[in-house]
Each structure stands twice: as structure tokens, then as C-alpha cells.
Amino acid sequence: MSEPIIEINHLSYDYPDRRVLSDISLAVRQGEFLAIVGENGSGKSTLIKCILGLLKPEGSIRLFGRELDQFDEWWRISYVSQKAASFNSGFPVTVEEVVEMGLYAKKGLFKRLKKGDRTKVRQALETVGMWDRRSSKVGDLSGGQQQRVFIARALVNDPELMILDEPTVGVDQRYVKEFYEILEELRADKKRTFVLVTHDIHFVSRLVTDVVHLIDGKLGCNCGIKEYWELDEKEIRSLYPVPGRVLVHEGERV
């Protein structure tokens, strides 16, 4: 069997005042679609940031078979952060310029964008329905529109691994649906791997192959989607230290 795309062994992470992740081990293989779920503050975003090398945890992380600190093929990965739109809204940069940034990692130093790159930018922007606004300043768009631009930036470099931390927060229902349709299309290429942090796993259950359920920074369950549905609510609830504190399957409420 091929090497996992992401392999995490005994990962723990502390913020100065508290332990946020403890002893997480998991592997994501090529073609898998991993959903990370868990209540607010359970450590989902922190886990993602560790995987991306933005935070330095204890334990080991391997990406595409290489230790994280030796990994340098970042163009194989794209990332949409939970608060993608938290930039300085006065920044003088257009929608098109932002999406071009998605291509920079692949370009390497000193190389300029070519005509083929412009076509890619156009396609990505058309996919999220923002091509008409390509010359607008990003700060002048609504929050949901900005998020769509950041999604386009993640799509533009045709990544092998997409890491998405609640990418559709603030995006209206129509485009959420379209976004998941795009993901479904991208899924058609079975080589592509996804990690998605989400609160509505029901919405994407058709796509998901595996689920990681974080509970207070610990691995509550790490299993296939079928098994996950078979776990009944009581079993998941029993994973929590304080019973009855949480609504499981938040998506159901929506």
C-alpha cells in the first residue's frame, strides 16, 4: 500500500496556558476525504495548523512521505483557512491578484505568470462565480464573496491535497451547494485527497470517506464514514467526559 499523504504520530500541542491537542495519531491516504468534526474549541483548526507547519507541535508529522520540516513541495497543497477574510480590508489588491497568489507556490522565485496561468485564474474565478468582479478591490466585497475568492485561490493551483477549515462560513446556500459540487467534481480524480473541517457533516456525507471526531483535543473517534453513522448518538456522547454536554451531529439541527 502506498505511503499516506498525511501521517501523524503522537502529536500534542500546548498553547502557553493549556493543552489543546493530546496524543493524536492518524493517517490520511491518497484519495481519502477526511472530515474533521468536533465542537467549538475542540482543536480542529489547531490540528490543521500543525499539519501545515504553522504551529510546531510535539510528535511527528509526515506529508507525502517526508518529515514536515524537510517537506518543501507546498504547491501540492492548498489551504482555505477558517478566517480567510481576516485580512486588512483596505489592502489595495484586486480579486484577480488574490487568486494569482494561489499560483505563486508552484511558480517558485523569479518566475512570472504566463498566459496559461491567466486562463487558470479565470477558470477558478468562473467556478466560484466571481469572474465579473475580478477588478474589484477584495476589501470592497462582502464577507461571503471574499470567502469565494479565497476558495478560488485554493482551486487555482490544482492541488493534490486540499485542506479546508470551514471554507464555506458566511457563503450563501446556493454557493455552498455549488462549492460542494465543485469538490465532488474534483473528487472524480481519485488521486486527490481532502481534509475538511466542518460542522455540517450531513451536507458532505456523500463525499466523506473517513471521519475524525475531536473531543477536547483528543481523538474521540477515527473511523470510516459508515462506522461513524453506525455509532449511535449515545456511543458518541459517551466519549465525552461530561455526558450530555454536547449536541452530536450538529448538522442535524440545520
Ligand X SMILES: Nc1ncnc2c1ncn2[C@@H]1O[C@H](COP(=O)(O)OP(=O)(O)OP(=O)(O)O)[C@@H](O)[C@H]1O
- Residues contacting residue 231 through CB under 8 Å, at least 6 positions apart: 221, 223
Distance CA 96, CA 84 (A): 16
Q: Is residue 77 classed exposed, middle or buried when 0-12, 13-18 and 19+ CB atoms within 10 A define those classes?
A: buried
Q: Is 87 helix (H, G, I), strand (E, B) or coil?
A: coil
Query: By C-beta, is 75 or 229 nearer to another protein?
Result: 75
36, 27, 51: which is closest to 204 by C-alpha? 36
Hey, what amino acid is at 29? R
CB distance 34 to 219 below 8 Å: no
Nearest distance, CB of residue 41 and ligand X, angstroms:
4
Provide the 10 A C-beta neighbour count for residue 63: 24
Query: By C-beta, is 91 or 206 nearer to another protein?
Result: 91
Region of 93-101, 120-128, 166-174, 224-232 interacting with another protein (CB under 8 A): 93-101
State the SS3 of 64-84. CCEEHHHCCCHHHEEEECCCC
Query: By C-beta, is 46 or 157 nearer to ligand X?
Result: 46
Q: What angle do CA 176, 180, 33 make, to 5 degrees?
A: 135
Region of 39-47, 57-65, 151-159, 174-182 interacting with ligand X (CB under 6 A): 39-47
The size of the interface with ligand X (CB under 6 A), counted in residues, is 11
Partner in contact with 20, chosen from ligand X, another protein, Mg ion, none, beta carbon below 5 to 8 Å by kind: ligand X
Partner in contact with 110, chosen from Mg ion, ligand X, another protein, none, beta carbon below 5 to 8 Å by kind: another protein
Task: Give yes or no for residue 16 binding another protein (CB under 8 A).
Answer: no
Strand partners, 79: 163
Partner in contact with 144, chosen from another protein, Mg ion, ligand X, none, beta carbon below 5 to 8 Å by kind: none
Task: Give yes or no for residue 43 binding ligand X (CB under 6 A).
Answer: yes
Lay out the site mask for another protein across 116-155 (x = CB under 8 A, - = otherwise): -------------------xxx--x------------x--
Q: Which residue has the cell 477515527?
A: 222
Task: Give yes or no for residue 82 binding Mg ion (CB under 5 A).
Answer: yes
Q: Which residues bind another protein (CB under 8 A)?
A: 52-54, 72-75, 77, 79, 81, 87-88, 90-94, 96-98, 101, 104-105, 107, 109-110, 135-137, 140, 153
Q: Which residues bind ligand X (CB under 6 A)?
A: 15, 20, 38, 40-46, 82
